[in-house]
Amino acid sequence: MTAELISIKSLWGMPGPLETQFQRIYKAGYKGIECPLPDGGKRSEFSELLHQYGFVYVAQIFAADIKSFEEQVQEAADFQPLLINSQSAKDSMPFEEQLDYFKRAVDAEKKIGLPVAHETHRGRAMYSPWTTGRLLSEIKDLKLTADFSHWVCVCESLLEDHAEWIELAAERTIHVHTRTGHAQGPQVADPRDPVWGKEQDAHLKWWRSIFTRHQREGTDLTFTPEYGPPGYMPTVPFTQDPVSDLWEICLWKKRFIENEWANSLSISADSK
């Protein structure tokens, strides 16, 4: 079976009403959207728009405690998402509490019958390569959303000393946020700028390891070029104007990742 790469657009930083956002995303060729659960008053419209545009949905939840996680995954299941992306637990939790959280999270995931990917995000239990690695080693069913831009920022490096944990994370990743970070922040000013070539190459190496595994196993992979608006995006002093066009850099990264996926498929076919 041939694995499919599925492009997802985050609603983060997008202006205008929902229908305008969905229409623009559809015209750009994305296959789905990623965003938090809609507010109560917008749920019907949100569900109708998903159906109208044929989008898959990656539901985002934010759960510092396990009770909140269990409630939110059940709520998310009502929208029949392709998967749930969770920013889970807290970095300050003792490890034993984190273990209990994620064991119960895996049980909740099995009950709803939908995949849950826990994001490698600052401020959460999976804020670093080593904390994530310990959890993955202890809980075999734990799955990830890989956002390595956070790890680069936390470690103030391109993770040269953490290859073992990167490899383990790649094996458990089912969703990717393809944002390029740097040693002093989780988002470069513009990924098209050659000044960030070293950072881009490092991230691409990690993403390719995820691509290769999914292509080898024949499992689909979703990705979101999740660049953020100001204050994730740098701004011009005094005016606070963003230094890049958020829509354009996300769309550029979408096409860049699709091209790299195709290249990985070609290399894999040539090696057989």
What is the amino acid identity at position 245? D
Q: Is the peptide bond before 29 cis (omega within 30 degrees of 0)?
A: no
Quote the distance between the C-alpha of residue 233 and its chain's center. Answer: 17
Q: Which residues make beta-bridge pairs with 84?
A: 59, 116
CA torsion sign for 45, 48, 106, 179 is: negative
Digitized pLDDT (tens) for each residue of the chain, 272 residues in all: 799 999 999 999 999 999 999 999 999 999 999 999 999 889 999 999 999 999 999 999 999 999 999 999 999 999 999 999 999 999 999 999 999 999 999 999 999 999 999 999 999 999 999 999 999 999 999 999 999 999 999 999 999 999 999 999 999 999 999 999 999 999 999 999 999 999 999 999 999 999 999 999 999 999 999 999 999 999 999 999 999 999 999 999 999 999 999 998 877 656 65
| pLDDT (0 to 100) of residue 74 | 97
Alpha carbons 174 and 170: distance in angstroms, whole number = 9
Alpha carbons 134 and 231: distance in angstroms, whole number = 31
* HEC letters along the chain: CCCCEEEEEECCCCCCCHHHHHHHHHHCCCCEEEEECCCHHHHHHHHHHHHHHCCEEEEEEEECCHHHHHHHHHHHHCCCCCEEEEEECCCCCCHHHHHHHHHHHHHHHHHHCCCEEEECCCCCCCCCHHHHHHHHHHCCCCCEEECHHHHHHHHCCCCCCCHHHHHHHHHHEEEEECCCCECCECCCCCCCCHHHHHHHHHHHHHHHHHHHHHHHHCCCEEEECCCCCCCCCCECCCCCCECCCHHHHHHHHHHHHHHHHHHHHHHHHHCC
Kindly state the tokens that stand for 111.
């009950």
121 near 146, Cβ under 8 Å? no
Its pTM stands at 0.97
Place of tokens 């159906």: 51
